[in-house]
Structure 1
Amino acid sequence: MRKAQRRSLGQEAADRVRDAVFAGYFAPGAPLREVELAASLEISRGSVREGLARLEQEGLVRSVWHRGTRVIELSAADVDEVYTVRAALERLAFATAAGRIDASALAGLDGVVDGMARSLAEGADGPALLALDMDFHDRVYEAAANRRLLDAWHAVRSQVYLFQLTRIARDDAEYRGILVGEHRELAGLLRRGDTACLAVAAEEHVDSARRRLVRILADTGTTEA
């Protein structure tokens, strides 16, 4: 991990640990030990503790009394909970954004989808594609211009990112096959302002990912948190 920079050390610790989890340095279920993290980041255990508390608020880690802190594990129950919440948020975000998005933001979404297509053609890896995927959705929430909706998205975003990384790692071909088409459709519906179709498409976009990941976890025997 990169050494912590001297800003808000608790936030810096959260950022570095989050990056390490997403990079696979800490696998789902892995323990996060304050002493080791403090030594690696060259900050105090108090700052590490603050950072882990931030990540717990994001749902990326779980702390249990006398058992320490661990990266969340991936279970079908967790996936169902997170993606059910996300589906409701996406439905609202896209429907709200349809009435507020401007030409510049629409062009930005088209640019992200074009970037997906180029990256696929160039053989980009799964995490690079996921970064574009998340950027697309971040832009939709920004376009919706609802601060509380954006906060709700940020509350589950890290969990979604980790779950999607797992999905890609275990079913990369399926993800690559639908990535551009699904996001191109969503961008087109936003441009047309078709809120009824958009809400349904946005919810199905998330629910299809949920169903696929639940099947992947079932196939690999990962059924408990």
Structure 2
Amino acid sequence: MDARPVEEIAPARRRGLADEVADRIREAIFSGAYAPGVPLREVDLSGVLQVSRGPVREALRVLEREGLVHCAWHRGTTVTTLSAEDVAELDSLRGALEDLAVRQVVATASDEELDAVEKAADLMGRAGDEHEMVRLDIAFHDAVFAAAGHRRLMDAWQAMRCQVHLFLLTRINRSKDGYLSGIPDEHRELLDALRSRDVEAALGLFAAHRRRAVDVLNG
């Protein structure tokens, strides 16, 4: 079958403004300005961001696909509140991806790639508050997935990383006890296990690291 003539294809639309609006709202969620459950009204956001409601509407659709907001008919849009089922699903999927990443890193990562993971771990010791620590926590795991050298695995991580960020925000909203003081040491242990090339030790430490966060939410 012949391809459709070019003139029958709908013209492309520029989406730069909607992407920028999505970036601004995402940043506000990650900074704690919009907490889980907070309503996000198009008219209010368009006023704050000084744009029309069209780009705001498109931006909210982007954030809904990322799992950061929830849109319900007649109830509007709110920042996603993670249910117990959401937490369990995120934890199980993250665990599956991270186990593969750990195995890949132990088997194939170069010293330079592990140096990038170490740099991410070092930055965590300088976090000024819990929200900055969450960002650095995510950046550490970004570095681990990058060191795995597995493009499709990285794509899968990227598809869920915003929801993992939201999960960690939910964790610090539940309890900040020991977060700033303990998280850097936890990640240093993860790094050391990767550098040792001891896959079983690394898998155990990564699993314990994930479990501690889930225990805070389930406690």
Per the normalisation by structure 1, the TM-score is: 0.82
Q: What is the 5 A alignment of 1:15-54?
A: 15-54=23-62
Percentage identity across paired residues of the two chains: 45
Shift of 1:86: 1.3
Whole-angstrom CA distance in 1 between matches of 2:81 and 2:173: 15
Q: Does structure 1 residue 163 correspond to structure 2 residue 171?
A: no
Question: Tell me, which stretches of 5 or more residues in structure 2 are unaligned?
Answer: 1-13
Structure 1 counterpart of 2:87, from 76, 79, 87: 79
RMSD of equivalent CA atoms:
2.0
Whole-angstrom CA distance in 1 between matches of 2:181 and 2:44: 40
Alignment match, 1:196: 200
SS at match of 2:109: coil
Whole-angstrom CA distance in 2 between matches of 1:52 and 1:98: 39
Moved over 3 A (4+): none
Q: Which moved more, 1:163-172 or 1:184-193?
A: 163-172
Shift of 1:177: 4.1
Whole-angstrom CA distance in 1 between matches of 2:129 and 2:35: 19
Q: Does structure 1 residue 132 correspond to structure 2 residue 140?
A: no
Structure number with the bigger relative contact order (C-alpha 8 A, sep ≥ 6) is 1
Structure 1 pair 7–110 and aligned structure 2 pair: CA distance change class (3 A): same
SS at match of 2:108: coil
Whole-angstrom CA distance in 1 between matches of 2:172 and 2:34: 17
Whole-angstrom CA distance in 1 between matches of 2:76 and 2:107: 46
Alignment match, 1:218: none
Shift of 1:7: 7.4
SS at match of 2:71: strand
Q: What is the 5 A alignment of 1:65-214?
A: 65-117=73-125, 119=126, 124-214=128-218
Whole-angstrom CA distance in 2 between matches of 1:95 and 1:187: 13
- Kept in 2, the 8 Å contact 1:22–1:165? The answer is yes
Larger radius of gyration: 2
- Kept in 2, the 8 Å contact 1:130–1:164? The answer is yes
SS at match of 1:54: helix
Structure 2 counterpart of 1:55, from 63, 67, 74: 63
SS at match of 1:62: strand
Shift of 1:154: 2.0
Whole-angstrom CA distance in 2 between matches of 1:163 and 1:81: 11
Per the normalisation by structure 2, the TM-score is: 0.84
Shift of 1:54: 1.2
SS at match of 1:31: coil
Alignment match, 1:219: none
Shift of 1:8: 1.1
Instruction: Tell me the alpha carbon deviations over residues 88-117 of structure 1, each in whole angstroms, 9 at most, x when there is no partner.
Output: 221111211222322222122222222323
Q: What code does the residue aligned with 1:207 have?
A: R
Shift of 1:168: 2.2
- Kept in 2, the 8 Å contact 1:141–1:149? The answer is yes
Instruction: Tell me the alpha carbon deviations over residues 51-98 of structure 1, each in whole angstroms, 9 at most, x when there is no partner.
Output: 111111111111112222111113322222212221222111121122
- Kept in 2, the 8 Å contact 1:79–1:210? The answer is yes
